[in-house]
Amino acid sequence: MNAVITSPSERQLVLVAGRAHPELAEAVAKGLDIDLVPTTAYTFANGELYVRFGESVRGTDCFVLQSHAAPINEAIMEQLIMVDALKRASARSITVIMPCYGYARQDKKHAGREPISARLMADLFQTAGAERIMSVDLHTAQIQGFFNGPVDHLWAMPMLAQYVRSRVDTGNLTIVSPDAGRVRLADQWSDHMGAPLAIIHKRRDPSVPNQVKVHELVGEVEGRVCVLVDDMIDTGGTIVQAAEALFENGAKDVIVAATHGLLSGPAVSRLRDSKISEVIITDTLPIDDEKRFDKLTVLSIAPLIARAVKEVFDDGSVTSLFNGNV
């Protein structure tokens, strides 16, 4: 394979990647039928990062792929440094690909004297030299407005829904939002699957981070297979409590479908030990062996990212990837 794709106008596409998720980077490169640009990256003893590209990127259209995986601040900083290096190396254009947008949950102020960190993220990448951002299933759509340039918002739902459809009888399916904030996502799933919608109302305990208390269920789930949908699974508390509420209300089975598998802290044990029959996620973030369990299914997001990159490079339509699907 070559390290670049050349368009009829002689523009060249190159893909560079950080160290956070090499498997995804290789899969995207394979989908584009190119090689990753050779990159030297390492961490100094004091924690500072160093990046250098092994070949010229002058005049090329560069796509910089980095998953914002733990340690998240190191992954973000490495991607910022990569963007700066490309800018100083005279890249023609720079598109940042962050499959999972770091700090996306800090998209608004819930109380006084709080930051809006998701906006700060956009500002940092724009200052570094990024001209475009590509991400998958942003926590909230408003994040698209934080960046002063094009934002390609990719959707994993069609892929996840196709997998669910292959596994269950859609005639006995109910799509469930685990909280009010995910109703819009669940509604899209409901339309796509032709299935009824249910909503779980919850209230967080502000004194205890990552703890939620489920209150009531709106919708019919008795005797039905329920698909709990969310954009991410962090500690698993919300999802497991929601599943318990569904079983208490007579659900026949519960499947979980989410895009980003953070799987922090007790998430694996909570999900593994629950009555949930299957947890379906994508590989926007690396899933280490210790985070894998029998109920977990991981779908590859690489084909979607590769197709989107090709559309952007060819001045095509990223929206066309989802026409009729969302």
Q: CA 316, CA 323: separation in Å to the nearest integer?
A: 13
Q: Which position among 202, 213, 275, 310 bears the catalytic label?
A: 202
Buried-exposed string 272-299: b where 16+ CB fall within 10 A, e elsewhere = eebebebbbbbbbbbbeeebeeebbbbb
Nearest to 135 by CA among 299, 295, 282: 282
In the annotation, is 202 catalytic?
A: yes
Task: Return the half-sphere exposure (C-beta side, CA atoms, 13 A cut-off) of residue 234.
Answer: 13
256 within 8 A of 297, measured Cβ to Cβ: no
Q: Which amino acid is at 145?
A: G
What 8-state DSSP symbol labels residue 2? B
Q: Is 276 helix (H, G, I), strand (E, B) or coil?
A: coil
Crossing angle for the helix pair 157-167 and 183-193, to the nearest 10 degrees: 50
* Percent helix / strand / coil, the chain, rounded to 5: 35, 25, 40
How is residue 12 written in tokens? 């060249």
Handedness of CA 293, 19, 127, 321 (dihedral sign): negative
What residues act catalytically?
A: 202
